Amino acid sequence: MSKSLEGVRVLDMTHVQSGPTCTQILAWFGADVIKVERPGVGDATRGQLRDIPDVDSLYFTMLNHNKRSVTLNPKSPKGNRIFTRLIEECDIMVENFAPGALDRMGFSWEKIQEINPRMIYASVKGFGPGPYEDCKVYENVAQCTGGSASTTGMVDGPPLVTAAQIGDSGTGIHLVAGILAALHHRTHSGRGQRVTCAMQDAVLNLCRVKLRDQQRLAKGPLKEYPQYPNGKFGEAVPRAGNASGGGQPGWIVKCKDWETDPDSYIYIITQAAAFAGLAKAMGREEWLDESHQWSTPEGRLPHLDQVFAEIEKWTMTKNKFEVMEILNPLNVPCGPILSMKELAGEPSLRATGTVVEVDHPERGKFLSIGNPIKLSESPSDVRRSPLLGEHTEEILKGVVGLSDEEIEEARAEGAV
């Protein structure tokens, strides 16, 4: 079966996480992704958080699957000419350097358009136009400035960052959507365009339910938040612990052996339509009696802490999987807290290719995450990340069209 982006060539000027996430998805869909790396150095993450000396780190290998690597310094005279040829030969260019880095290399958007008017030029930056546009930004800065940290954490605790890399990987995924839209637009306009996504904007987009709540707060207390009815609301949306972000109350409750197993917990949503089933399963039919204050969703709202405390007494008698087995058939949405260890060994995730074992010539076998987006006609396979400059010669000959002699000259100049 052919791949959905077969025939599309990507000039990948990305590093660290946000940009590589984007180009990895394009590569999984079958695009020929040519990762340009500084000669002798490469993407800084090759050497970061290493678990095996002198071997590309898991950080790098898990973010750069299915790509080819060419070493090239576009700042050198010969490198500049090779880079110009690559711009001519590619459909999409992606970068996430600090603001202005590509311009300083001599490749502004105007110049890129001049070289290849069909080029789609996509960038991740920390911030959009405004007071912070020149700032360098990493994941947690984006989480803090995009509304996530302010709204994450327990009620009386400090702001918290989340482990999900919503600033880096989240922005990379947003960028993919922009690139594919521009690629579609090019099929009838014949022209490329500039695609930008700021990490602050992507995080804020992912936190849009909290901007919803900010506006609801102006009309009165947020009744599904743990601060209701006894705590205080300030002027901004507060942190809400593990309360559900939607219209159905939810919370994390302990399960059997929680004292020794840090992941023996389950999230339970007391969806109105399934509350009767939940109460019956727990042997608490009295809650359904019309005279009981918890018999209606409105009646339960001011007492959610007590409701979940009662539910927890029941869940603590069972393990998280037993709770799920009882509640799922009753349409009570619930999810056990699965550890990374459990996820790594989960057979269904292996079967769908979401967790895959990959072989690497230097590190051997390791686990990675495959493409979570499944296409029926063009499924993804996961290939190992390239070694630094592994495809330099192949690309200089096959894509740029250099002779052996020209490659030697470029090498002598330090351009590749």
Residue 146 identity (one-letter amino acid): G
At 270, list the tokens: 């007391």
CA 244 remoteness from chain centre: 21
Which residues have C-beta within 8 Å of that of residue 98, sequence separation ≥ 6?
136
194: left (phi over 0), alpha (psi -120 to 50) or beta: beta
Q: 């506006």: which residue's tokens?
A: 215
Nearer to ligand CAO, 58 or 137 (CB): 137
What residue has token string 């990762």? Answer: 35
By beta-carbon proximity to ligand CAO, the closer residue of 56 and 168 is: 168
Binding test (CB under 6 A) with ligand CAO, winner from 23, 73, 145, 392:
73
Q: Give start and end residues of each alpha helix (H) in 190-303.
A: 199-206, 208-217, 275-281, 297-300
Q: Which residues of 298-326 are buried (b: 16+ CB within 10 A; e: fewer)?
A: eebeeebeebbebbbebbbeebbeebbeb
Q: What single-letter amino acid sits at 246?
A: G
**Of the candidate residues 124, 253, 278, 396, the single one contacting ligand CAO (CB under 6 A):** 124
Instruction: Select from 170, 180, 178, 183 the least CA-distant residue to 195.
Output: 178
Binding mask 192-231 for ligand CAO (x = CB under 6 A): ----------------------------------------
Least separation in angstroms between residue 150's CB and ligand CAO is: 20
Please say which residue, 72 or 119, places its beta carbon nearer to ligand CAO: 72
To the nearest whole angstrom, how small is the minimum distance from the Cβ of residue 13 to ligand CAO?
Answer: 7
Chain-centre distance for alpha carbon 285: 43
Active-site residue, selected from the candidate residues 168, 263, 305, 404: 168
Q: By CB under 6 A, name the one of 8, 17, 323, 385 that touches ligand CAO.
A: 17
Q: Is 40 or 229 the residue whose CB approaches ligand CAO more closely? A: 40
User: Binding to ligand CAO by residue 72, rule CB under 6 A?
Assistant: yes
Q: Does 94 bind ligand CAO (CB under 6 A)?
A: no
Decide: is 52 part of the binding site for ligand CAO (CB under 6 A).
no
Residues 169-188: x/- map of binding to ligand CAO (CB under 6 A)? --------------------
Please pick, from the candidates 60, 97, 225, 258, the single residue that binds ligand CAO as defined by CB under 6 A: 97
What's the farthest any 2 CA atoms get from each other in the chain? 90
Distances from the Cα of 131 to the Cα of 127, 128, 171, 192, angstroms: 9, 9, 20, 28
- 98 is an interface residue for ligand CAO by CB under 6 A: yes
168 is catalytic: yes
Q: Which two tokens stand for residue 139?
A: 């994941």
Taking the CB of residue 112, how many other CB atoms lie within 10 A of it?
20
Span 283-322, contacts to ligand CAO by CB under 6 A:
none
- Determine, following the binding rule CB under 6 A, whether residue 125 of this chain makes contact with ligand CAO: yes
Q: Which residues are catalytic?
A: 168
Positions that interact with ligand CAO (CB under 6 A):
16-19, 36-38, 72-73, 75, 96-98, 101, 104-105, 124-126, 136-138, 168
